[in-house]
Amino acid sequence: MTYFGELGDRVVGAPSILAADFAHLAQEVQRAERGGAGLVHFDVMDNHFVPNLTVGPAVAASLAAAVDLPIDAHLQVTNPDNLIPSFIEAGVVGISVQPEVVTHLHRTLGMIRAGGCEAGVALNPTSPPELIGWALPYIDYINVMSVNPGFGGQDFIPEMIEKVRRIKQMTNVPVEVDGGITVDTAPLMVEAGAQVLIAGSAVFKGDPATEMRRIIEAGRRVRK
């Protein structure tokens, strides 16, 4: 099962569950799916790497069984290796880790791939693209964080547009953008080369189908 490997040059929308109503998670994801979402962005936080605390593999497994969309787990945790087997077991399609807190990145990425998932890295806003230069052959997608990880609803960091452009000069691997993505920022990121538009508060602030569709269309418009 590959998602990023078959993305081609498509631009897709990914609702971030962080801003959803956790008591009705499956329905929230289905609402965004009706707006054309292609992937679920599942934010995992541990109160160590980031101050916030969210959900883990048990919730991912329940969600995977309840929805049709593939799930991409973004591990914002200090010891991702401990959780990777459970997320693989949960049935997610991709797992991304934060290289800033992974000691043996090559091994961690290998672990994800060996479990049949696609391996991603999520870069903090001030982490340079060079941090993952030697890991590129082992990476299936890159998440360029356009806010500091930890919370939804933060302001978009505009320097991340140039960072996406820089990364696309280094590699053809699909780029996700995560944080402050709206109808206004999505086109700027797609123009720079981003393909997966992750959005939490901008999707769930209103009707998720309508808002997701607006973001995807705003992103796709610059590709024509």
Which residues carry out catalysis? 43, 178
Binding residue for ligand DX5 (CB under 6 A) from 149, 174, 193, 219?
A: 149
String of contacts with ligand DX5 for each residue 69-88, x by CB under 6 A: -----x-x------------
Binding residue for ligand DX5 (CB under 6 A) from 164, 181, 188, 194?
A: 181
For helices 57-66 and 80-90, what crossing angle results, to 10°?
20
Which residue has tokens 């994800």? Answer: 112
**Closer of 142 and 181 to ligand DX5 (Cβ):** 181
**Closer of 93 and 106 to ligand DX5 (Cβ):** 93
Phi-psi map region of 153: left, alpha, beta (phi>0 left; psi -120 to 50 alpha): left
**Closer of 33 and 178 to Zn ion (Cβ):** 178
The CA distance from 57 to 192, in Å, is: 33
Cβ of residue 165: shortest distance to ligand DX5, in angstroms?
20
Alpha helices in the chain (DSSP H): 25-34, 57-66, 80-90, 105-114, 160-170, 185-192, 201-204, 208-221
**Closer of 107 and 124 to ligand DX5 (Cβ):** 124
Question: H helices then E strands: how many in the chain?
Answer: 8, 8
Measured CA to CA in angstroms, residue 162 lies from 25, 78, 147, 180 at distances of 34, 27, 14, 16
Is 201 one of the binding residues for ligand DX5 (CB under 6 A)? yes
Cβ of residue 154: shortest distance to ligand DX5, in angstroms?
6
Is 178 one of the binding residues for Zn ion (CB under 5 A)? yes
Answer for the pair 123, 131: CB distance below 8 angstroms, yes or no: yes
Please state the separation of Cα 30 from the chain's center in Å: 18
From the list 43-51, 64-72, 95-103, 160-168, the region that binds Zn ion by CB under 5 A is 43-51
Is 74 one of the binding residues for Zn ion (CB under 5 A)? yes
The CA distance from 31 to 15, in Å, is: 10
**Closer of 116 and 183 to ligand DX5 (Cβ):** 183
Which residue has tokens 């903090």? Answer: 124
Is 178 one of the binding residues for ligand DX5 (CB under 6 A)? yes
The CA distance from 166 to 143, in Å, is: 13
Is 199 one of the binding residues for ligand DX5 (CB under 6 A)? yes
| Residues of the shown chain interacting with Zn ion in the complex, contacts defined by CB under 5 A | 43, 74, 178
| Residues of the shown chain interacting with ligand DX5 in the complex, contacts defined by CB under 6 A | 16, 18-19, 41, 43, 74, 76, 147, 149-150, 152-154, 178-181, 198-202
